[in-house]
Structure 1
Amino acid sequence: MDDLDLPTAAPATIEEFRDRLTEITDGLPRRLRQCADHIAANIDRIAVSTVAELAAGADVPPSAVMRFCQILGYSGFSEMQKLFREAYAPGFPDYSTRLKNLKDGGAGSPSALLAEFIEAGRLSLEALAKSADETALAQAVSVLAGADMVHVIGLRRAFPVATYLAYVFEKMSVPAMLHDGVGKLDRRHALRAGDAVLAITFAPYSEETIALAQDARDRGLPVVALTDRPTSPL
């Protein structure tokens, strides 16, 4: 099927939407690719954004967003937005909105501020539970459990995640090596047959993390990626 042919049915779940987005993105013309990239990076904003807002964020005319919705199989933006409003309604307001409200209005007291952070964390974890791909999670666990050594890399804002995972592996007696980039040392020479890489990066993506993941793939090693969108370079 040509990438711009309309599918017979629109995605009915968030998981199907992500799969369809990944499937079509590479074959889209420039403006529609901009739509795909922006929506993939801001998927939690679809339920609360207008066509004009998404178009401005993607730097395309509103007509491009409408065409993009049709390529996905929807009659228009409203039908696509309905899917996300129904899926994310229990979690409104989303994290970005809550953070903005906190910055604008403050919490009133230290205890209220703490309550805001606790509630934000709770809602984020609930959203994660709803959106987690159980099949992909099981595959990732299988890969890491079967590795002789797990090489963990996550730099800049992903570094706390990578460091904590390496710490957990250590406590569980799982052979693991943290590639921390200290001194700009290149530790790719430590990769061996039978090892696996756990790579973590979010936009703007770490070139070092992507390079290590690519090197591992070139050597035939499995790579488990923790990232933020289906179109991530990982």
Structure 2
Amino acid sequence: MTQNLDAISPDIPSDYESLKARISTLSDSMPKRLLQCARYALANPDRIALGTTAEIASAAGVQPSTLVRFAQTLGFDGFSQMQQIFQGQLVGRNSEYTERLTKIRESGTNTPGGILGNFVERSKQSLDDLLRQVDTVALERSIEALSAAENIHLLGLRRAYPVVSYLHYTLGKMGVRTNLLEYTGGILEERVQFINENDALFVATFSPYSPEVVEFASKAFGRGVSVISLTDSVLSPIARVSSTVLEVNEAEHGAFRSLSTTMCLATSIAVAVGDARKWTSLS
């Protein structure tokens, strides 16, 4: 729902999550340049945390004054106050990974062999869960949509990027036309216009979910494109803008998660699509 910027609560976001929520609430009402700032900030939180106003404005393609106005729109006195939230997120994230490593050390399995053994065991658990819990109807629908598509567009950022990159490689080896979408130059949004109803969009995103991926999928879905999403929960924000949702969960070791089960599912999808395309071309 579109909201009036002046009607938003003046409370200042106190952490990165509340900041993201504020941006999400205001995004529909933001002028073009402020929305450009918002997208850049969410896609490059480390640069916002560490850069100068001039450096960030140049990279985002806006004027420094626009960055200040963006911060004030979110309830801050100025850019520096907003930047502190991004800096806190950066420090917190580093501390979070330190805590994860501490958990592994405290478990007494911090030798290389112990770490490997635990990840193998967790991966076995996740693979068994996938086999028991996979939604075979959703899987078959996904294969049908991807097999019938003229072009398969692939999108995943951060932890999900290796998944779509692997699909791009494997499907390409089988002669399936794919397009790997990347967030470069801040022009991801514009690429949605090149996806039509005869194509399919495959997206992957996991908690805390990439807002850029959700937004892109939403626009494609609104254009009538078949959107197949690979995510870790049917309650994921990507589920609302997907034709079909495939759910996969990775068991953790010391709060770290591998991609073994996710890659297994992705490989199965690629092989099934390649096989379906082969038989379709022969019939």
| Structure-1-length-normalised TM-score | 0.54
**Cα distance, 1:182 vs structure 2:** 2.0
Go from structure 1 to structure 2 and tell me whether the alpha carbon gap of 1:205 and 1:110 turns closer, same or farther (over 3 Å shift): closer
Equivalent residue for 1:227, pick from 231, 237, 245: 231
1:216 is aligned to 2:220 = yes
Alignment of 1:29-44 (within 5 A): none
Alignment of 1:1-234 (within 5 A): 102-107=104-109, 109-186=111-188, 187-234=191-238
- Length, aligned pairs only: 137
Go from structure 1 to structure 2 and tell me whether the alpha carbon gap of 1:232 and 1:109 turns closer, same or farther (over 3 Å shift): closer
Q: Using the alignment, how far apart are the partners of 1:163 and 1:101 within structure 2?
A: 31
Question: Which one-letter code corresponds to 1:189 in the other structure?
Answer: Q
Go from structure 1 to structure 2 and tell me whether the alpha carbon gap of 1:229 and 1:173 turns closer, same or farther (over 3 Å shift): same
Q: Using the alignment, how far apart are the partners of 1:100 and 1:108 within structure 2?
A: 9
**Cα distance, 1:173 vs structure 2:** 1.5
SS in structure 2 of the partner of residue 136 of structure 1: helix
Structure 2 stretches lacking a partner, 5+ long: 1-100, 239-283
Question: Which one-letter code corresponds to 1:139 in the other structure?
Answer: R
Q: Using the alignment, how far apart are the partners of 2:110 and 2:228 within structure 1?
A: 42
Q: Using the alignment, how far apart are the partners of 1:219 and 1:185 within structure 2?
A: 18
Q: Using the alignment, how far apart are the partners of 1:125 and 1:102 within structure 2?
A: 22
Percentage of identical aligned residues: 36
Go from structure 1 to structure 2 and tell me whether the alpha carbon gap of 1:109 and 1:223 turns closer, same or farther (over 3 Å shift): same
Q: Using the alignment, how far apart are the partners of 1:197 and 1:174 within structure 2?
A: 14
Go from structure 1 to structure 2 and tell me whether the alpha carbon gap of 1:132 and 1:113 turns closer, same or farther (over 3 Å shift): same
Deviations 1:30-77 (A, max 9, x none): xxxxxxxxxxxxxxxxxxxxxxxxxxxxxxxxxxxxxxxxxxxxxxxx
Question: Which one-letter code corresponds to 1:162 in the other structure?
Answer: V
**Cα distance, 1:105 vs structure 2:** 2.1
Go from structure 1 to structure 2 and tell me whether the alpha carbon gap of 1:103 and 1:132 turns closer, same or farther (over 3 Å shift): farther
SS in structure 2 of the partner of residue 226 of structure 1: strand
Go from structure 1 to structure 2 and tell me whether the alpha carbon gap of 1:196 and 1:115 turns closer, same or farther (over 3 Å shift): same
SS in structure 2 of the partner of residue 210 of structure 1: helix
| Structure-2-length-normalised TM-score | 0.45
**Cα distance, 1:100 vs structure 2:** 8.3
SS in structure 2 of the partner of residue 182 of structure 1: coil
**Cα distance, 1:108 vs structure 2:** 5.5
Question: Which one-letter code corresponds to 1:112 in the other structure?
Answer: G
Question: Which one-letter code corresponds to 1:143 in the other structure?
Answer: A
Go from structure 1 to structure 2 and tell me whether the alpha carbon gap of 1:210 and 1:119 turns closer, same or farther (over 3 Å shift): same
**Cα distance, 1:149 vs structure 2:** 0.5
Q: Using the alignment, how far apart are the partners of 2:108 and 2:160 within structure 1?
A: 27
